[in-house]
Amino acid sequence: MAMPTNGSGFAVRAFATRNAPLVIHAGTDPCRLCESRHASICDAVEGKDLARLADLAVPARVPAAKVFLIEGDPADSLVNIRNGVARLFKSLPDGRRQLVGFAGPGHFLGLSPAGRYVYSAEAIGPVELCRYSRSRMAALLADLPALEGRLLERVANELATAQEQILLLGRKTARERLATFLLARAALHPFVPPLPRPWPCPGPAPVRELVQTVVLPMTRQDIADYLGLTIETVSRTFGALKRDDLIALPRPDTVLLLALTHLAEMAAGEN
């Protein structure tokens, strides 16, 4: 089956799943605007004259710990994360902080109502991003009606995720929150199923849980601020899950999920 092309020779695919970033992409060639191989809105410009839109994106590298979007500032530009992870957070005047999410490659930030950013964004590690000015974005949207539908789909997904987080923060216990968080992180990474066992196979199949490894790019403080807890409670809850053999912690940033079923039940509030 032939892939659609954008007239410049490279294949274009678009797909989106719940809780995963929309990827409007992009064969093997680097993006003509940002010179990156990562998915980009640039690639959505099928059949358009890319040169006309060349000033649409300003590629930028952002060092760790840099705040590149400030809550309340005029939302001059949309930001597309190309590489790295950012924490998105809101703050109260006395310093209390609440993360509203983490943004990885492919995420769009800054589609804000009332022209103001509703959260701040800070690079967790080095981040590579593209900025799109609001006026350019509006022009692009006018040219590409399909794009608006994709954005709607994405924002609807983010809304559903936010409402899931509202349930978590309003009604779940610390254990349930952490289990939910770990499973969500696990779902982000491509799941590598274990090798199939020899078949046909003598004797009953051993019942063994799949083990999934999760690497956490964020600190305990981030996790705490995301789950509405303190850093100490997060640490203690990790310890409790470890003691119950639900997880293993070879390193603080590496979690092995030893009992996916049990963890999933816990995350769903079933015990």
Question: Which positions touch a second copy (CB under 8 A)?
Answer: 18, 90, 92-94, 96-98, 100, 111-114, 118-119, 141, 145, 148-149, 151-153, 155-160, 162-167, 169-172, 225, 227-228, 268-270
Tokens of 186: 């696990």
How many whole angstroms separate alpha carbon 136 and alpha carbon 146? 16
Q: Considering CB distances under 5 to 8 angstroms, the limit depending on partner class, which of a second copy, DNA, none binds residue 100?
A: a second copy
Nearer to DNA, 32 or 220 (CB): 220
Q: Is 217 in the site for DNA (CB under 7 A)?
A: no
Q: How many residues bind DNA (CB under 7 A)?
A: 20
Question: What is the DSSP code string of 136-175?
Answer: HHHHHHHH-HHHHHHHHHHHHHHHHHHHHHHHHHHH--HH
Instruction: Please give the structure tokens belonging to residue 94.
Output: 């006395």
173 binds DNA per the rule CB under 7 A: yes
Q: How far apart are the first and last CA of the chain?
A: 48
Q: Is 230 in the site for DNA (CB under 7 A)?
A: yes
Q: Does 67 bind DNA (CB under 7 A)?
A: no
Q: Write down the least CB distance from residue 268 to DNA, Å.
A: 16
Concatenating the DSSP letter of every residue in 69-116 gives E-TTSB--EEEEEEES-EEEEEE-TTS-EEEEEEE-TT-EE---GGGB
Q: Is 51 exposed, middle or buried (0-12, 13-18, 19+ CB in 10 A)?
A: exposed
Tokens of 168: 């978590």
Nearer to DNA, 41 or 168 (CB): 168
Residues in CB range of 34: below 8 A, 6 or more apart = 40, 42, 57, 59, 82, 130
- The site partner of 249 among DNA, a second copy, none (C-beta below 5 to 8 Å per kind) is DNA
- Site for DNA contains 174 (CB under 7 A): yes
Examine residue 47 and tell whether it contacts DNA (CB under 7 A).
Answer: no
- Please tell me the distance from the alpha carbon of residue 54 to that of residue 32, in angstroms, as a whole number: 8
Stretch that binds DNA, among 39-47, 102-110, 153-161, 170-178 (CB under 7 A): 170-178
219 binds DNA, rule: CB under 7 A: yes
Residue 114 binds which of a second copy, DNA, none (CB < 5-8 A, kind-dependent): a second copy
Q: Is 179 helix (H, G, I), strand (E, B) or coil?
A: helix
**One of 138, 239, 245, 254 touching DNA (CB under 7 A):** 239
CB of 19: closest distance to a second copy in angstroms? 9
